[in-house]
Structure 1
Amino acid sequence: MSTNQPTVNNPFASSRKNGNRIKNVLFTTLVWGVGICTIIFIIGLLFLILEKGMPKLSFDFLIGIPDEIMEGGGIGPALFNSFYVLIISLIISIPLGMAAGIYLSEFAPDNKFIGFIRICVEGLASVPSIIFGLFGIVIFVETFDIGLTIIGGAVSLAFLNLPVLTRVTEEAMRAVPQEMKHASFALGGTHLQTIRRVLIPVALNGIITGICLVAGRAFGESAVIILTAGVTTSGEMWDFNLFSPGETLAVHLWYVQSEAIVPDATEIAEKAAAVLVFIVLLINLVFRIPLWMNNRKMSTK
């Protein structure tokens, strides 16, 4: 004998469910709207900068020597110094930043002193870049008395990048599932082997993203370079002397727009801004290649 009990509809539960559905739709619409508006703004800004400068670019402008008085000067030495300073700063900051991040995530004891160190690193990551420029003046211009040089600007940029790379590396290493670490130990791997063959490859995406961010920031940095490397170049296109003045493209853009007296200063600024934005975008694309290769390698295992 079966009894069919009638289903009782709860009006309060039904109204609550409808209210949650409406809130979900509104929130999703808001997120999509903000995201689309942000993307449109970024694309519009990039298009505005590139559209003004890219059509006017020429090879002579990219390798030409800047002129203080006559029009038609180029950005060759400043462009070379930008890459030169960036490469030196990354050579210094990447090994030190990764080593510090690995130590904090894998070897540092969990005590108040290490917690204080983490707070200091986070604080340095948010310090304005001009503070690192003033620090570079104290070290290289006043203490070592070497003046405004490429090596001073590069090392100061490395100091600027170190806190960010340290925190990014530490967080990327901590994000690796503990099961993978324990599995490596269970298979007989040492701590060093586990870090080198398991943790770093899995955390590589986050680490490379951090390197990409600091590289783009360093390439477009001006305050640190003005204070430690100066606003002039040696006048040579390929000057590898570390003690030469180290004006970069970002500094040259600022100088042309605010201080230069050349008749075509506005046109030079527009072309230099387009080159700067294009190279920053190219840096982001180049650093994505190891990410794609690492993802493909991990997916085939």
Structure 2
Amino acid sequence: MAAGVQSNPFASSRKSGNRLKNNLFTGLVWTVGICTIIFIIGLLFLILEKGMPKLSIDFLLGLPDEIMEGGGIGPALFNSFYVLIISLVISVPLGMAAGIYLSEFAPDNKFIGFLRVCVEGLASVPSIIFGLFGIVLFVEAFDVGLTIIGGAVSLAFLNLPVLTRVTEEAIRAVPQEMKHASFALGGTHLQTIRRVLIPVALNGIITGICLVAGRAFGESAVIILTAGVTTSGVMWDFNLLSPGETLAVHLWYVQSEAIVPDAVEIAEKSAAVLVFIVLMINLLFRIPLWLNARKTR
């Protein structure tokens, strides 16, 4: 009887087949990923290349004009930041608090399960629904008209479900060993949340805030219905009851309703500014992630 074990031809062919499938799948993933990245870079380059070279300080800080060419986007750009900041000030604390409650304090029963389903459903509801809710609340019930505060609060309602779910999932992703170790060292539940859970889950939470901030800055449907398509005509208008046209709304208006001769050029420059600022918002929110990563090393 010959020493050793004879090789199985069926096992060898199975291994070679699995290796071929793995290589094909890896190649497919690389191809799709590279094509997607090229498409995104090409789209960004197309938008920025058309508008960025034409930008000027007069355009960024100037007042819009309904008839004559050469108008700017100053008030609309200011309103975009103003509405964004107000909406984040409202939605971030409430969304984080709701997410922490659902992950740490809420009982595991059918009502909480139904509540989670409702939050997930609201996170996928079209933004125009929140705009209609804003009309009912601010225009009809409170009778304040189309205002900055109406648009900001409606955007906060739009962001709340997303922030709640992101916070809950980020807190739940923290290893239970870290939580138990904090309790074993004598930490209270509040101290554990503040000093262990939130710092570890900070990457996921800030990523969620970054997503809703970019979405809110480029949102138009909610603003059109709750803040209007005009500005007060003042560059730095902090009055919460003033009309609140934002840059995204101004871009839509110029493309669809405006009669100025240079409407196409204004739209190209406004689109470039909008995309550039959204990119900068994403970069700005990455800074805390980098700082947090350096602290945890």
Secondary structure of 1:98's aligned partner = helix
Q: Any idea what the Cα deviations from partners look like across 1:77-132, whole Å, max 9, x if unmatched? A: 00000000000000000000000000000000000000000000000000000000
Deviation at 1:139, TM superposition (A): 0.0
Runs of 4+ in 1 over 3 A off after TM superposition: none
Q: Give the deviation of 1:239 after TM superposition.
A: 0.1
What secondary structure, in the 3-state scheme, does the structure 1 residue paired with 2:138 have? helix
Paired residue secondary structure (2:201): helix
SS at match of 2:261: coil
Following superposition, the deviation at residue 211 of structure 1 comes to: 0.1
1:182 alignment partner, one of 171, 176, 180: 180
* TM-score calculated relative to the size of structure 1: 0.97
In structure 2, runs of 5+ residues without a counterpart are none
Q: How far 1:167 moved relative to its partner?
A: 0.1
Identity within the alignment, %: 90
Q: CA deviation at 1:296?
A: 0.5
Find the aligned partners of 2:95 and 2:294 in 1 and give their Cα distance. Answer: 26
User: 1:24 maps to which residue?
Assistant: 22
- Residue 194 (structure 1) shift: 0.3
- CA shift at 1:235, angstroms? 0.1
Separation in 2, partners of 1:33, 1:100: 40
In the TM superposition, residue 178 of structure 1 has moved relative to its aligned partner by: 0.2
Deviations 1:174-203 (A, max 9, x none): 000000000000000000000000000000
What is the number of equivalent residue pairs in this alignment?
A: 293
Q: Measure how far apart 1:168 and its partner are.
A: 0.1
2:101: which partner in 1? Answer: 103
2: distance between equivalents of 1:186 and 1:9? Answer: 55
Distance in 1 of aligned mates of 2:265 and 2:59: 11
Two-structure CA RMSD over aligned residues (Å): 0.5
Q: Deviations over 1:137-164 (max 9, x none)?
A: 0000000000000000000000000000
- Deviations 1:33-60, CA, capped at 9 Å, x for gaps: 0000000000000000000000000000
* Deviation of 1:284 (Å): 0.1
Q: Secondary structure at 1:270's aligned position in 2?
A: helix
- Deviation track 1:199-250 (CA, whole Å, cap 9, x = no partner) reads 0000000000000000000000000000000000000000000000000000
Alignment correspondent of 2:79: 81
In structure 2, what is the Cα distance between the partners aligned to 1:233 and 1:128?
25
Q: Determine the C-alpha separation between the residues in 2 that align with 1:295 and 1:92.
A: 27
* C-alpha displacement of 1:63: 0.2
Q: Which residue number in structure 1 is paired with residue 213 of structure 2?
A: 215
CA shift, 1:275, in A, is 0.1
* Distance in 1 between residues matched to 2:49 and 2:10, nearest whole Å: 57
